[in-house]
Structure 1
Amino acid sequence: MNKRTWRKQHKWIGIGMTFFLLMFCVSGILLNHRSLIKDVDVSRKYLPSNYKYEKWSGGLLRGTLALDNKVLLYGNSGIWQTDSTASFFADLNKGLPEGADNRQIRNIIKTDNGEIMTVSPFALYNYGEHETWHKMELPLEDDEKLTDIASHGDTLVVLSRSYAYISVPPYKNFRRVQLGAPKNYKQRVTLFRTIWLLHSGELFGSVGKVAVDFIAVILVLLCITGVVFALRPKQKALLRLSLKLHDKIGRYTIAVTLLIVLTGWCLRPPVMIALVLNKIPAIPGTTLRSNNPWNDKLRMIRYDKDEHDWLVSTSEGFYSLKLNNGAMKKIESAPPVSVMGLNVLQKDANGKWYCGSFSGLFVWDRQKGTAIDYFTHKPAPKKAGAPFGKKAIAGMSQDFVHQSSEASMTYNRSAIIADYYDGTTIIAQPSSMNYLPMSLWNVALEIHSGRFFIGNIATYIFIFVMGILAIWCLWSGYNIRLAKKKGKAIFKPRNRI
């Protein structure tokens, strides 16, 4: 390819994607520092219309807890009190910290001694005096995120992404338990997880994240200096400075900028599907190399009274846990779960488990070892497949009664399924919840994934295309540099480029 073609491609691809690349860089830096921005919110009024909460969409309804004549409803934006017919909704967030990220409620339970507790990614709370949530202390490691809570008898279990925290009444002290390695355990991780942590820098801890932030700043500088040079300002000093910086920065950082773009491109379909399905040994000297076999893998926990064990959902599948010794045993008959994790794990009146994720909703009979699709009644597939199935299940409730038809006064109690995009129409969502704030971290995630710009189709197309263009833009710039080394100047009179 001749030098003129390389220059044209580099110039116009670069100009065309500068805005998006800047957005990816800024959002990536924010994603790397969730704890620092968890109190910062963005009003949904200023976001695209598809981010408006409607009909309990967007994870606004994750689950419910029935308490005598009351029902507590919880989800991605907090907790509300209502009744079994959803005739009213009262705010029940007093005591929870401000900030939408702090109010992403994972579960609410009532213990056998009558205490009500809830957990967010950042803290455990007890509902008590003055009808207020009170934070409870846990011996967490730095930046450790909580995922679930469950109880049986006098035993309370709080699950993080890596450990179980166990307590008994009066629930003042918690013991951290590292769960045992399953049979035939090998310290292997998915390629997807490895590339993900490499892309964010977390693979090498805090130092790695700072290094990736620096690469993001480099890409920002390349974008700005490239646009300035392309616009050809009349100030020759500014023009030459922009060219010099663009050339030197691009020349010395081509390896790391290509690496960060390539790894980000791999984290979306179709490449990510292959990465999810393949495992490699954990790389020595990285955060993936841990003595804990469940490091960053635990997601949900429930007590199964029929099987007399604790049921644990992990990124490696479902396991049976014996809490007295921490033994974990793989359950082979479990239904598929999206790589994005489980959102629903509830038992029905017949003792079967509802398992819902973005791969759909499945009814699982543990005793028979069978699982069927809730909607089609067909056997569940063996593997989850793409991150998003035909139904993206975000929440579920079995605690409401509703009219069987508008003309009938008969009320039925059946499962209410909340789809992430379509929500549910069985119970009405108050309009006051339409514009509940979104955390800045989640906004950054939507921007970084491309969904902010073109919706869910970005999962399959946008990042794939933008990644290829970004790689080609960097590579074409490098080829221009090679041409310069051979004595072919880059800086030309204005009418030549």
Structure 2
Amino acid sequence: MNKRTLRKQHKWIGIGITFFILMFCVSGILLNHRSLIKNVDISRKFLPNNYKYENWNGGLLRGTLALDNKVLLYGNGGIWETDSAASFFADFNKGLPKGADNQQIRNVIKTDNGKIMAVSPFALYRYGEHEAWHEVELPLADDEKLTDIASHGDTLVVLSRSYAYISLHPYINFKRIQLNTPKDYKERVSLFRTVWLLHSGELFGVTGRLAVDIIAVILVLLCITGVVFAIRPKQKTLLRLSLKLHDKIGRYTIAFTLLIVLTGWCLRPPVMIALAINKIPAIPGTILQSDNPWNDKLRMIRYDEAMHDWLVSTSEGFYSLNLNKGTMDQIASTPPVSVMGLNVLQKDIKGRWYCGSFSGLFVWDRQRGTATDYFTHKPAPKKPGAPFGKKAIAGMSQDFVYDSSNGKCNRVTVIADYYNGSKYIAQPHSMSILPMSLWNVALEIHSGRFFIGSIATYVFIFVMGILAAWCLWSGYSIRIAKRKSKRISQ
């Protein structure tokens, strides 16, 4: 390719993607510092229409808990009180911290002794005095996220992404337990997660995140100086300064900027699929190297009355947990689960498990070792679940009923798709503009969904990554070729 063509491509591709690169950089910095913006929300009325909740989509309905005379519905919009006919909805968030990020509820349960407990990624709550939620202190490590809660008898188990927290009634003091190493364990981690953490810098802790923030600032400078040079301002000093900065910053940081662009490109299909199904040894000296075999791998937990054990969903598959010994035994013949993790794990009236994720919804009979697709009734695939299936299951409820023509009350299974929701129960219009956390808005911008919707998952980042990488490389090639020409002429 001749130098003139290369210059044109560098210029016009660069101008064309500048806005999006700036958005990626700003949103990336916000994503890297969630704790600093956790209480900042943006009303959905200021966001594109596809971000308004409709028919319980977007994870607004994750699950329900049936009590004596009411039903608690929970999900990404907090907790709401209703009845079995969904005839009304009342706010049930009193006592929870303000902020949409804090009110992303993962599970609500009632213990055998009548305590109502709820868990979000950031805290455990007990419902009680003054008819409000009260935070329960846990011995959490820094930045440790909670994933689920379950109880059996007097035992309450709170699951984080790496540990189990155990308490007995009245659930005041919790003991952190590291689950035992399973049989045939090999210290291998997901290649997808490795690339993810490398892209954010978190692979190397706080230092790595700050380093990636600096690279984002560098990309912003490259965008600004490139645009200034392209529009050719009359002020020659500004023009020369922009070219000089663009040249030197671009050449000296090319390895780092390309690394960030390429790792981000890999985190969406089609490359994402290959990364998700492969594992590598943990890189020494990174946060992935841990003495805990379950570091960042635990997802959901339930007590299985039929099998008399604790059923644990992990990023490595399903396991049977003996809580007294802390042992974890892998379970064979399980349903496929998306790499994004389970969203639904409930029993049906026959004692089978509903397992729902972005890979679909499957009915799993543990005792028989069979799993079938809920919608097609065909045997479930034996391979691990794809990141995104035909149905992206975000939530489910079996606690609503409706009156049939013969006057009998029939129970209805409400299945909420992440994108399309569910029309079985009417969603109050007021919920459509519930606030969205700034962190989640930044995530939507960073993924490209903010600009072109869900299709961005498959197209936007793939195209933008190629264009950004070519723009960086072509600029570097132009300057290197120019420097070589100067040396030869001398």
Q: TM-score range by the shorter chain?
A: over 0.9
Measure, in 2, the Cα distance between the counterparts of 1:400 and 1:384: 32
Match of 1:276 in 2: 276
Task: Quote the Cα distance in structure 1 between the aligned partners of 2:260 and 2:385.
Answer: 26
State the match for 1:345 in structure 2: 345
Residue 403 of structure 1: how far off its partner (Å):
3.7
For 2:484 and 2:370, how far apart are their aligned partners in 1? Answer: 67
**For the residues of structure 2 that align with 1:282 and 1:332, how far apart are their CA atoms?**
25
- Match for 2:476: what amino acid? Y
Whether 1:415 and 2:418 are equivalent positions in the alignment is no
Q: Is 1:97 paired with 2:97?
A: yes
- TM alignment of 1:69-468, pairs within 5 A: 69-404=69-404, 409-468=407-466
Residues 1:443 and 1:239: Cα distance change in structure 2 (over 3 Å): same
Question: What percent of counterpart residues are identical?
Answer: 82
Corresponding pairs, count: 487
Please give the TM-score of this superposition, normalised by the length of structure 1: 0.97
Q: 1:374, CA displacement in angstroms?
A: 0.4
Distance 1:383 1:447 in 2: 32
Q: Which residue of 2 aligns with 1:493?
A: none
Whole-angstrom CA distance in 2 between matches of 1:442 and 1:209: 18
Query: Structure 2: how far apart are the matches of 1:345 and 1:35?
Result: 29
Instruction: Identify the residue that residue 495 of structure 1 maps to in structure 2.
Output: none
Contact 2:187 / 2:293 at 8 angstroms: preserved in 1?
A: yes
The whole-number CA distance in structure 1 between the counterparts of 2:384 and 2:326 is 27
Structure 2: segments with no counterpart, 5+ residues? none
Paired position in structure 1 for 2:467: 469
| Amino acid of the structure 1 residue aligned with 2:334 | A
Contact 1:94 1:132 in 2 (8 A): yes
Give the TM-score normalised by structure 2: 0.98
Matched residues in 1 for 2:398 and 2:98: separation?
Answer: 29
Which residue of structure 2 lines up, in the alignment, with residue 64 of structure 1? 64
2:280 alignment partner AA: I
The answer to whether the Cα contact below 8 Å between 1:402 and 1:426 also exists between their aligned partners in 2 is: no
CA displacement 1:260-296 (0-9 Å, x = unmatched):
1010011111111111111111111110000000001
Partners of 1:386 and 1:331 in 2: how far apart? 20
Alignment counterpart, residue 482 of structure 1, candidates 480, 483, 487? 480
**Equivalent-residue separation in structure 2 for 1:383 and 1:261 (angstroms):** 30
CA contact (8 A) 1:273 1:385 kept: no
CA–CA distance in 2 between the matches of 1:23 and 1:143?
Answer: 26
Q: List alignment gaps of at least 5 residues for structure 1.
A: 490-497
The 2-side partners of 1:22 and 1:384 are apart by 36
Q: Distance in 2 between matches of 1:162 and 1:59?
A: 23
Q: Is the 8 A contact 1:75 1:106 kept in 2?
A: yes
* Residue in structure 2 matched with residue 24 of structure 1 by the alignment: 24
Pair 3,357 (structure 1): closer, same or farther in 2 beyond 3 Å: same
CA separation in 2, counterparts of 1:116 and 1:386? 35
Q: CA deviation at 1:363?
A: 0.3
Distance 1:455 1:333 in 2: 36
Structure 1's 146 and 198: CA in aligned 2 closer, same or farther, altered over 3 A?
same
How far residue 488 of structure 1 moved from its aligned partner, in angstroms, is 5.8
> For the Cα contact (< 8 Å) 1:301–1:310, is it kept in 2?
yes
Task: Tell me how far 1:36 sits from its aligned partner.
Answer: 1.2
Find runs of 4+ consecutive structure 1 residues off by over 3 angstroms.
407-410
User: For residues 47-97 of structure 1, what are the alpha-carbon distances to aligned partners after superposition, in whole Å with 9 as ceiling and x for unaligned?
Assistant: 111111011111100000011111000000100111110111110000001
Quote how far apart the aligned CAs of 1:487 are: 3.2
Tell whether the 8 Å contact from 2:337 to 2:386 is kept in structure 1 after alignment.
no
